[in-house]
Structures are given as C-alpha cells and as structure tokens.
Homo-oligomer: A and B are copies of this chain.
Amino acid sequence: MASSRMVQLGSSSVIQTKSKAKISFSRKAESEFFVDNSALAGFTGERILYMAIRELIENSLDSCEAERILPKIAVSLKLIDPLNDLWAISCEDNGIGIRSDKVSVAVCSFLTSGKYVEQQQRGLFGVGLKMIAAFSTKDTDHPLRVWSKSAEETSEYYFELRTDIGTNKPIVLTRRDTKPKESTIRGKSGFRIEAVLRGRLSPITKNRIHDYISQTSIVNPYAVISFSTDDGMITFDRRTNIMPEPAKEVLPHPADMDLKTLKKAIGTHALQKTTIQGILCNSFQKLSFDKAKEIIRNAGIEAKQADKYSEHELIKIVNVCRQTKFQSPNVDHLSPIGERIFTVGMTTERTIFTKKENAISDDESQPKISTREMKPTLTGYSSRACIINNRPTIVECGLAYGGNLSYFKLYRFANKIPLLYDEGSDVAREVISEVELNKMGVSKKQVKEQFSGLESRSDRAIDLLPIHIFFHICSTKIPYKTAGKESIASEGELKKYMKACLSDLYRKVSKQIRHEMHLKDAENRLKLYKYYIPLIVDAISESIDVSAEDLTNSFLALVERHVKKGVSHPRSVMTNVENHAVPVERHDVRGQQKGSGSKETSVVTRSKKSLKMKRLDSTQEKIENFLTSSEELS
C-alpha cells in the first residue's frame, strides 16, 4: 500500500542543470511553499516542538469555545527515537470535533481552514495543524493518526493521514468508523491527533512550553490542561465552570472597507439585483440606508444596478467611506474573558504534578502530587473597547494584590494566548511605567518605606509591591511588534486605553490598597513602638524618679489605643496623599455583559480568609479587632 502512493509523487518544480542563467517561473504548491518557508509560521529549528504544542492547544481551546464546552485538553510529548530525534506528540480535546468528510483537508491542506472568518480566534493563519502534518510527512514515515467525533455526527472516525507536499492534498491511508468499544473519545464530541516529529528539545524550550501552558491556564481557568512528558504529568486544573461568551462572526466595518471587500459584497448579492445602497447597508455593520445614500451621494456616482459599477466608481465609494465617521464597530466578534473569569484566573492557579511511576530519577523524597495555589488579598478588573487600526479592540486589565503574592509581575495576553517574551518592549510595560502610582492613593515614598525590605530588582515603586497586573488585548488584528508575536506595539491609541484601564483599576482598588497599607502601617507602627519604648523609658527613669515598669505598661497601653485610632481614621495619617476615591465607576465593555450572567456588583473582591493567613504575629488578634471595627465604620 505504501508503494502505491508513489504515483502521487511528482512536483511542478524540477531541478534543472542550467548552463546559462535563465529565470524559470515555477508554481509552488501551498504546502511546499510553507514547508520551504517554515519560518513564516514559526516552525524553525529549536522551536518546532514548542510551536506544535502551542498550535494544538490553541486549536483545541477554539474548538471547545465554539460550543461553550468546558475544555479538557490532554497534551503529551514523548521521545520515541533518541538516535533520530523523533518525538511522539499528541493532543486530545473534548471540542466539537471535525466532520469526517472534512478531517483530511482540515488536517493536511494549507489555506483550508475553519479560521478564515472575521471573529476573534487564537490562531489566525490556520496553518499550524498543516505544518505538523507536513513536517511529520517530510521527516518521518509515521502517518498522522486522528480520531474525530464531530458534534454533527454520531460516530467517531479514525484516520491515518499524510500530506502530499507537492500538491497540498491529503493522502488518506486509513479512514474508518470506529466501533463503540474501540472508540477513543469518551465525551459527546472531541478530537485527538497523534503525530511523530523530528526535533530537538533544549531545557530552555522545555521551560518555554511549561510557561506557555501555565499562563494559558491563568487566562483560561475554565479549562483543564494536562501535559505529559517522560518526566510525568502536570495538570493545570479547572477553577471555574463559567466560560466567556463565544465570539460571533460579524459584518465588516465600513471604515475598514477596501475594493476587495466591497466587490465581495456585491458579488454575494449578485443574484438579488439590489441597489448599491442596499448592498452597503446589508454587508457592513453600523451602516444605515440613509448613511449608505449619503455615501453614494458624496462619491458622486450615478444610480444603477449594483454589479454595473466600474472599479473607478467603486473606489470612490471606498475613498468616501475611509473619510466618513461611523459609529464604533460592535465587538460581538470578540470574546473577552470577562470580569468573573478573569478574576478566577488571577486569584488561583492550581497545578498538580504527577510523577511518572517509574521515573528515571528515582527521587523518593519528591512527592508524587503537589499543588500550588495563590490567593491574593484583593483583585480588581477593568476593561475598555476601542478602535485600533480600524479594528475593534478590547482591552482587559486585572490586578491582584497581597496574600500569597510576594512580588510584582506583569502578565500579558493577546486573544487569550499568553505572550511570554520581550516584556521589556511591550506597550504594557510602558503603560505601567506611565500610570502614576499615586492614582492608587499611595505615594511612591510610602511604598518604598513599607516594602523596600522585600527583595527587589528595581528602583521603581511598583516593582516593590506584591502585585500582579494582567493585560488582555482582544482583536482580530493584534498590533504585534514583530512577526515573532511576543510583544505588542503601542499602535494608535492602544496605550491611551490601556492606561485608562489601569488608572481605573488603581482608583478602584485605592481604598482597599490604602486600607491594606494602613493595616501594614499599623502593624509596623506597633512594632516600632515596641522597639523604641524601652529606650524612652530608660532615658526618663534615669533622669527622674519613676517606676520603669509602670511607665512601660502605660506607654504600651497608650500606643495600642493610638494605633487603633489611626487605622479607623486613615486620612489623618495620610494627609499628604491626594484622595482619589471617586464614586466607584463601572467601565463595562459595550455589549459584553449581556449574557455573562455576572451577579457581582463590586469590582473589588476582598478575600478575608487569605488576610487571616497573613497575620501570624502576636498582635493578630488586636489588629483583627480594629479591622472589624473599622469595617463597621466604613
């Protein structure tokens, strides 16, 4: 059977031995083009395995979210042939699967994808799966093995596939309806792929994969993602059952019109014989019939059947549209994470390490299962919708403070994908530098006074705080700084909106942060009194006749009352700080909250439990007393 495939070989590009330079124009199949220029899709050298895992996880998440299925994704990466650097990679999800008649092209044929629609998705080029198939075909004799149970079908199908790189066509080696007892996918629907790739895995790349999955879990807390390697399995557990509203496909916005989109719109309506005005308002969002008439009038072209216009006339429409002000585009085609899910992501991270039973390193002391959770004392969320480069864009920003957090960290996401590298050149870093910390109601000086004890790598006050800041940018066109897609450029007004989000957040949490800092200050102050009182008492009792013990006891009682008073009247201590506690303002994302069913009304969540964990010293009880009383007061 294998040799029968030989007939499919053959390519349009033939190596010639030329005596004289002569340009021979050759046509390349898409698959061959992408294999030859694999750098375009990021599949180069060391990065092949990393990119493969990324693409598979992103496809799986997209597939689940399309139908609001809580994702459960199992990825594995195992070395099967060290001599030839062969790795078995697999990914299984419980998404909607792919219809059996589409599986082979969806996996193997470049430029055929379910991703070519105007809505937010993780992967946009739709070439990831195809790259895996082509590389596997090119470098190994192992076929791709695929199990798919489509939501639209009842059976699970099994495939063995190869890509004919020379023609961009799938080679289907096996295709069968699996019998129920044989079936691999347990849920109602799902997809599993296994491929063998040739590649190298350096420790750096290994960490990169781990970071990628870990941060993916932060921004997708409704997903379970497990990752198996030869060392064992790590599971990034689900922490919520709420999923974001899926992205919807929308009509293009007229400000983004060009000749191609306009002609496509006319072509779509070709059979209906409508007017050009009708086509405009049916094919573009935010375009009323009146507005369409106005555009045609401004373009100065005569009325005729829509498909009778020449390009010269159409370009006038495009030019007018580019100069016309329209309503902001709607954002239904975007899927922001939303406050509730974002908050879950910020608040918790649950990781379970399961060591392989017979792991090579037989370290008895290491537990087989360990979990890690982080519980900040308070969190905040804010978002903005805006237009960047003619595309609707949603900026989401989150903040987590205190609790188990002990240092500053910035997390960056684009369309729910974590950005891991080039943080220094990311616009988010600029945003954080440029938003004044005193919007939080605290001064740099205060922060340095209170936190400079912590280990810090930086002089900047923000870097001293136990704070995590999260930025998520959703758009159908993320303004990446480089094609490497690791940092976002400060394009258009993006920075302005990000700064507005962070400023909101600072203002929103300011009361709580100030309270947190007052608590910490009160604690510090009591400690300070205890340090200094003996010195004062000694000096006095050496000078005049008084009982040192009485004086000490009275002094301690006095300062404890004093500290308590200080916390319930924070202003008196912080007179030099401008008060930013404006009435809490909600910055909802337009159209986003409709169906999210959020019941929370306050954007700042205070976790009492974690606060208690923090107070371990002897003054705990007293502090909690006045904490309670001050909360009653406020």
Contact = CB atoms under 8 A, between A and B. Distances in A.
Interface of A: 2-3, 5-6, 9-11, 13-18, 21-30, 33, 35-37, 39-40, 42, 45, 63, 66-67, 83-84, 96, 98, 102, 105-106, 109, 111-114, 116-118, 124-125, 137-141, 152, 162, 165-166, 246, 248-249, 251, 258-260, 263-264, 266-268, 270, 283, 307-312, 314-315, 318-319, 322-323, 389, 479-480, 482-484, 491
Contact of A30 (B30, B42, B83, B98): B30
Contact of A25 (B106, B166, B251): B106
A112 B16 contact: no
A309 B6 CA distance: 9
A35 B483 contact: no
Interface of A, secondary structure class, is loop
A197 to B, nearest CB: 12
Contact of A9 (B9, B166, B266, B308): B266
Contacts of A33: 111, 125
B483 A109 contact: no
Contacts of A27: 105, 109, 111-112
A589 B22 CA distance: 26
10 contacts: A2-B312, A6-B267, A9-B266, A13-B116, A18-B249, A23-B63, A26-B113, A27-B109, A30-B30, A39-B480
Given A6-B266, A84-B319, A491-B45, A105 B138 contact: no
A279 to B, nearest CB: 12
Given A2-B311, A141-B311, A141-B312, A14 B268 contact: yes
Contacts of A483: 39-40, 42, 482-484
B30 A111 contact: yes
Nearest to A114: B23
B139 A259 contact: yes
A114 to B, nearest CB: 4
A314 B24 CA distance: 30
A18 B480 CA distance: 30
A389 B318 CA distance: 47
A246 B21 contact: yes
Given A28-B112, A36-B116, A42-B483, 7 more contacts: A11-B267, A21-B246, A22-B66, A25-B106, A25-B113, A30-B111, A45-B389
Indicate the member of A13, A260, A268 with the most B CB atoms within 10 Å.
A260
Nearest to A110: B33
A264 to B, nearest CB: 5
A308 B3 contact: yes
Contacts of A37: 124-125
